[in-house]
Amino acid sequence: MRGRTVWAAAGGAAALVLITATGAHAEGRGDVRVVKTVVNKGNNVIVGTSQTIRYPIDITIKDNSGVKGISRISTFNRSKLYGFADWDNESSCTKKSATTSVCRAMMTIEPTWIADSDDIDTNKVAGVWQLNATVDAKDGDYWISDNIAQYKVKRAVRLTTVITPEKVAKGSTVTVNGKLSRANWEDLKYHGYSGQKVRLQFKKKGAATYSTVKTVTAGSAGKLTTKVKVTAAGSWRWYYPGTTTTSLKASSGDTLNLR
């Protein structure tokens, strides 16, 4: 495992409205402040089993002398007080005015690091994470802020759809199968995810959007199966809405034609 920083928090932090710094526990010197923080452009961070994930943290900073940059970032799961995202100790700042800049830091999650980063089951670290940072001004002012943003780090999902047969007469009944599986960060494999509510959706040929037809519970090993009566040609797919710890996923559509 290459050199990296794993963050574990020693204690809690005050509650804070998402992406604002108002009310955050903070200490430092001078008038430099965090005005706003956006993680991954406002999107969840989705982590699978092999692809390296890089995501931006954009912190708007204000000081009367101008902004120097970010000197420290830590991010971790709020309830487990642990995280495995790595910062390269670099940031770039875009000047918006004489007193305000937006500084970007890039975080990296390499799935092959995760299991070896601690002795805990790191799958339990999926969920709501918080961000702490220290920011600096050109006149030497600095500000250490806890909980300047909250965001979700989720386990990736795979979802498949297979229709049999794929060409039938109108009014016939077909079987729609599929499988829901979820990334396991400990063994770097996808395992069937049972007991989850998954929506079966249909898009009529020529239409622009899918509509939900029914909801099915994933069975053993994440197996999905149901029967539907065919009223028109079009595409069928499974859609999983996700949870706090697991990403949403829509499968590729499987086309059904009429004969």
Tens of pLDDT, residue by residue over 223-253, are 999 999 999 999 999 999 999 999 999 999 9
- How much is the pLDDT for 16? 26
Q: What is the mean pLDDT of the chain?
A: 91
**For 48-81, what is each residue's pLDDT tens digit?**
999 999 999 999 999 999 999 999 999 999 999 9
pLDDT digits (tens, 9 = 90+) for 147-196: 999 999 999 999 999 999 988 999 999 999 999 999 999 999 999 999 99
**Residue-range domains of the chain with CATH:** 7-155 (2.60.40.10), 157-258 (2.60.40.730)
Cis omega before residue 165 (within 30°)?
Answer: yes
Q: What is the pLDDT of residue 140?
A: 96
pLDDT at 13 over 90: no
Q: How far apart are CA 107 and CA 7, in angstroms?
A: 12
Instruction: Inform me whether the pLDDT recorded for 208 exceeds 80.
Output: yes
Evaluate if residue 7 carries a pLDDT over 70.
Answer: no
pLDDT tens for residues 77-102?
999 999 999 999 999 999 999 999 99
Nearest to 104 by CA among 114, 94, 118, 112: 94
End-to-end CA distance of the chain: 57
**pLDDT score recorded for residue 26:** 73
Strand 33-39 with 189-192, pairing: unpaired
Mean pLDDT of all residues in 133-143:
97
Specify the pLDDT at position 20.
Answer: 35
Among residues 89, 157, 83, the alpha carbon closest in space to that of 125 is found at 83
pLDDT at residue 25, rounded to an integer:
65
Least confident of 118-122, 187-191, 208-212: 118-122
Instruction: Give the E-state strand segments of 10-126 in sequence order.
Output: 26-29, 33-39, 45-47, 53-62, 67-77, 82-83, 86-87, 92-95, 100-109
Cβ proximity of 132 and 22 under 8 Å: no
Distance CA(48)–CA(247), nearest Å, equals: 10
Locate 82 and state its tokens.
């642990």
Does residue 6 surpass a pLDDT of 70?
A: no
Across the range 211-224, mean pLDDT stands at: 98
The number of CA neighbours under 13 Å toward the Cβ of 144 is: 6
How many CB atoms sit inside 10 A of residue 170's CB?
11
Confidence of residue 24 (pLDDT cuts 50, 70, 90): low
Torsional sign, CA 118, 123, 124, 127: positive
pTM over 0.85: yes
- The H or E element that residue 114 is part of is helix 111-114
